[in-house]
Amino acid sequence: MESPDMLKAVIFDLVGTLAFIKEYVDNKEVSSLLVNRGYEVYPQQLRSAWNFVVFIDYPRFGYNNYESMLRKMFERLEVQIDERTLKDVAKLYQRNSFELYPDAQDAVQKVKGLGLKTSIATTAPRFWFERDIKQIIDYIDFICTGYEAGCEKSNPNMYKRILEHLKVSSQDAVVIGDDIDLDILNPKKLGVRTILLDRNGKSKNLLEPDAIVSNLNDALKVFTAWANRT
């Protein structure tokens, strides 16, 4: 297939677009382990500290594994945790896993076959998901997490960073994602075209996206239609 003349890059959202969360450890389970070890840390505290570290600290400092990230989280909670418990909590979180949607690998490969540059835009730390999306890693030119962007995804600067890295203009890129605020409205502020992925058929008559599709292969059909209009 020939590359669409008016596109040079495709930016994919991760969660809800390329992959879904297969297993996610509940804060109640983590809290139970901690309380049993003598640390009074409860689910709402965990959720608040976790979100702070993911959305504020990770873009600033970056973490390569759960243990380093959890150290910062307990520092935020002002809890001095022993190393054995830290490792055991990390083992719990390591059960978190992602799984690619059935159409993800084929779609990403086809996009690369069109000669387009590819990127993933996500706040999530890379170590969370890299092992679970290994089938498509070689087809992604730039994985932009909160650390690479220096911000979380609600900040449009994440998309600026991706465009700069891929060396393409906003007019030459398209974002595909399932979140109207993060994946559609934010990139459109920069002049990037957008395709809303609505796997459940709940989004209708929205004016913000340039197109709405129900699967990733239909998104490729949109590229082709755009190319045929040039």
Assign 1 a pLDDT band (cuts: 50, 70, 90): very low
Any domain includes 166: yes
CATH number of the domain that 214 lies in?
Answer: 3.40.50.1000
pLDDT, average across residues 175-185 = 95
Per-residue model confidence as pLDDT tens digits over 213-225: 999 999 989 977 7
SS3 at position 60: helix
205 phi-psi bin (left φ>0, alpha ψ -120 to 50, beta other): left
According to the model, what pLDDT value does residue 206 have?
A: 72
103/203 same-domain check: yes
Of the residues 49, 76, 95, which one is the last residue of a structural domain?
95
Per-residue model confidence as pLDDT tens digits over 109-126: 999 999 999 999 999 999
According to the model, what pLDDT value does residue 118 have?
A: 97
pLDDT over threshold 70, residue 157: yes
- Domain of residue 42 covers 26-95
Nearest to 7 by CA among 229, 226, 228, 185: 226
36/126 same-domain check: no
According to the model, what pLDDT value does residue 50 have?
A: 96
pLDDT over threshold 60, residue 49: yes
Q: Which pair of structure tokens corresponds to residue 135?
A: 């089938």
According to the model, what pLDDT value does residue 4 have?
A: 53
Sheet containing 173-177: order of strands:
142-144, 117-121, 9-13, 173-177, 193-197, 211-213
Any domain includes 2: no
